[in-house]
Amino acid sequence: MSLEFLVATGIGTVTATGIYLVLRGRTWPVVIGLSLLGYAVNVFIFAMGRLWQDAAPILSATGRVADPLPQALVLTAIVIGFATTGFVVELALRSRHESGSDHVDGHEPGHAPGFRDHTP
């Protein structure tokens, strides 16, 4: 099995898991799903510079070098993904606080908006 096959399968599995979780009804699984999607996308960008072995990570005058641009791109994407994940966690908590439900629609299914379940 080639390295490419392994990496591609890994990205596919993580993406599928991420999509499944994003489609859940509660905010917490959705947040986890978004993170997983982010991880898969980051590895995907990284792999788009092709997978290299025995190559220098940055430009040197002699020998083979790996493509440095996807590495720079993926750093940017990681930082942005980190910030947005932090934000969405905070937003989900705040939404739970405002509506009394952690459902993404802001109310428990089968109950009117504003319903709060006080049973422990």
Partner 1 sequence: MIDAVTHFFSMHLAVLPVLLPLFTAIALLLLGDEGGQAGHTGGRLRMARAISLGSAVIGALLAWLLMSEAANGVLTVYPLGNWPAPFGIVLVVDHLSAMMLALTWTIAVPVLWYATGGWDAHGRHFHPLFHFQLMGLSGAFVTGDLFNLFVFFEVLLIASYVLLVHGQGRERFRAGVHFVVLNLVASALFLIGLAVIYGTAGTLNMADLALRVAQLGPDEAALFKVGGMILLVVFGLKAAIVPLYMWLPGTYAVASAPVAALFAIMTKVGVYSIIRVHAVILGDAAGLAARAAEPWLLPVALATTVLGVLGALAAHSLARLVAYLTVASVGTILAGVGLFTPATLSAALYYMVHSTLVVAALFLLVELVASQRGAVGDKLQPAPPVAQPVLLGLMTLLGSASVAGLPPLPGFLGKLMVLQSAAATPAHTVVWAVVLTGGFLTLIGLARAGAILFWKVLPTDGHPVASGSSWRLTSATLGLLGLSLVLAVAASPMKRYTDAAAAELSDPTVYAKAVLGQIDAFSSVSTRPYRGGEGEVKLPIKGDTP
31 to each of 17, 26, 39, 88, 95, how far by Cα in Å? 12, 9, 13, 7, 13
Cβ-contact 77, 45 below 8 angstroms: yes
Shortest Å, Cβ 56 to partner 1 = 10
Nearer to partner 1, 54 or 118 (CB): 54
Cβ-contact 78, 70 below 8 angstroms: no
Cβ-contact 63, 56 below 8 angstroms: yes
How many C-beta atoms lie closer than 10 Å to residue 36's C-beta?
A: 20
Give residues 13-52 in contact with partner 1 (rule: CB under 8 A): 22, 27, 30, 34, 37-38, 40-42, 44-45, 48-52
Q: What are phi and psi of 110, to 5 degrees?
A: 85, -5
Shortest Å, Cβ 98 to partner 1 = 5
Shortest Å, Cβ 29 to partner 1 = 11
Q: Is 67 near partner 1 (CB under 8 A)?
A: yes
Q: Residue numbers of the site for partner 1 (CB under 8 A)?
A: 22, 27, 30, 34, 37-38, 40-42, 44-45, 48-52, 59, 63-70, 73, 76-77, 80, 83-84, 87-88, 91-92, 94-95, 98-99, 104-106, 113-114
